[in-house]
Amino acid sequence: MVISQRFGPGHRILVTGGAGFVPSHVVDALIARGCTVVAVDNFVTGSKENLAQLADEPRFTLVEADVSEGLPGHHPALAERFDAIMHLASPASPTDFATLPVEILRVGSLGTLHLLDRAVSDGARFLLASTSEAYGDPQVHPQPESYWGNVNPIGVRSVYDEAKRFAEAATMAYHRLHGLDVGIVRIFNTYGPRMRPDDGRAIPAFITQALRGEPLTVHGTGSQTRSICYVDDLVRGILLLLDSAETGPVNCGTEHEVSMRELAERIVSMTGSSSTVTYVTRPSDDPELRRPDLTLARERLGFEPQVSPQEGLRRTIEYFSQRLA
Ligand code: NAD
């Protein structure tokens, strides 16, 4: 399966949440292809620094706005038609679930509906960043897209899980009702440069703790697993889905499944740190196992992750070393 590039020079793409970790890498990749990109962000978890490399790029515009309120009508960059709308905006870390619960619900529900309406009026392809959290604490392992999940609808993670599940439902409703061209990607744990050191996700937390010589705080016994994907691989997967006519949902990530204990020990060894590993209370509803079934991504998109955990972690450690220095 080879997907040919559908979006390139002359195409206008709207990326919501463009100043965030994953979205800023998507913006870079679209600009490198020759697209014109408008990023909309309210900087609730993102940062202008993530887009500083594009300050002099004439094909790039950054607009400050909260997409849960709809797109601001007055901005000239938002007046023209878009060929594709990529709805990537949402706080996404466990810390955010506690501090920004209503913002997460709003951007997944109201934000998604506003952007779907705009995609219908523009005749644009609509791509939704969904999540492996749609599977909750899965009872099927690895997780295929056909699995409906095991989500606690009122638990501490539900604001995120259910907002994304609502966003998927809304996307499919617009697809069925309006024939809208849509693609849903379920993203598994992704890491890399431009993550926030203090966002509560395991890899930036472990790396910054190791670099500072502080104990690495592993939740519970650390036997819970995640399958870790370097951001460049994820971005390739997202753009393959964008270029395709696939509706999805399609999983994107890797099969590099590691326990949190192994991951912490590996980071201590790779950083040459003198840090120890300590075990702290595990948050409720924390999923036990996570690994994508990538059959659909391989068959429909020709997706294959390329960056080894060793290389991805090395690049990420280098980024945080420079940042902390
Ligand atoms: P991030 O927090 O770095 O990026 C999200 C961006 O969205 C930020 O720049 C934030 O300011 C912006 N944003 C949030 N609410 C907004 C609003 N109402 N209006 C405008 N901008 C808003 O997070 P990330 O990890 O890069 O995640 C990006 C997307 O990918 C999210 O939709 C997330 O749910 C999804 N995702 C990420 C992962 C992962 O492992 N990183 C896994 C699954 C899904």
Residue type (1 letter), 24: S
Q: Which atom of ligand 1 is nearest to the CA of 160?
A: 34
Catalytic residue, chosen from 135, 160, 191, 230, is: 160
Q: How large is the average pLDDT for residues 1-21?
A: 96
CA of 19 to the centre of ligand 1 (A): 9
Residue 160 designated active-site: yes
The residue contributing the CA closest to ligand 1 atom 18 is 66
Does residue 282 lie in a domain region? no
Residues 6 or more apart whose CB falls under 8 angstroms from that of 175 comprise 181, 182, 247
Pocket residues for ligand 1 (CB within 6 Å)?
16-17, 19-23, 40-46, 66-68, 88-92, 107, 111, 129, 131, 187, 189-190
**Please, are residues 259 and 223 in contact by the beta-carbon 8 Å criterion?**
yes
User: Is 74's pLDDT higher than 90?
Assistant: no
CA of 88 to the centre of ligand 1 (A): 6
Confidence band of 198 (pLDDT split at 50, 70, 90)? confident
161: helix, strand or coil: helix
Q: Tell me which of 40, 45, 68 to substitute to probe ligand 1's pocket, judged by most ligand atoms within 8 Å of the beta carbon.
A: 45
Does residue 198 lie in a domain region? no
This prediction has a pTM of 0.98
Q: Which atom of ligand 1 is nearest to the CA of 17?
A: 7
Does residue 171 lie in a domain region? yes
C-alpha distances (whole Å) from 266 to each of 136, 210, 282, 325 are 27, 10, 20, 22
Sign of CA dihedral 54, 242, 1, 132: positive
Does residue 7 lie in a domain region? no
Average pLDDT, the chain: 97
**Please, are residues 142 and 293 in contact by the beta-carbon 8 Å criterion?**
yes
Please count the structural domains in the chain: 1
Residue type (1 letter), 74: H
Place of tokens 């002359």: 10
What's the pLDDT at 265? 97
260: helix, strand or coil: helix
CA–CA–CA angle 242, 255, 292 (5° rounding): 60
- Burial level of 83, CB count in 10 A (0-12/13-18/19+)? middle
CA of 22 to the centre of ligand 1 (A): 7
Structural domain including 133 reads 12-191+230-254+291-305
What's the pLDDT at 224? 96
How far from chain centre, in Å, is Cα 274? Answer: 32
Q: What is the pLDDT of residues 135-193, one digit of tens each?
A: 999 999 999 999 999 999 999 999 999 999 999 999 999 999 999 999 999 999 999 99
Does residue 42 lie in a domain region? yes
% the chain with pLDDT above 90: 96
CA of 186 to the centre of ligand 1 (A): 13
Closest CA to 267 of 175, 181, 199, 201: 201
Does residue 299 lie in a domain region? yes
Count, residues in the chain: 325
CA of 244 to the centre of ligand 1 (A): 23
- Burial level of 191, CB count in 10 A (0-12/13-18/19+)? buried
Confidence band of 120 (pLDDT split at 50, 70, 90)? very high
**Please, are residues 61 and 39 in contact by the beta-carbon 8 Å criterion?**
yes
User: Is 1's pLDDT higher than 80?
Assistant: no
What CATH number does the domain containing 55 carry?
3.40.50.720
Q: What is the pLDDT of residues 229-269, one digit of tens each?
A: 999 999 999 999 999 999 999 999 999 999 999 999 999 99
Exposure class string for 194-209: b at 16+ Cβ within 10 A, else e:
bbbeebebbbbbbbbb
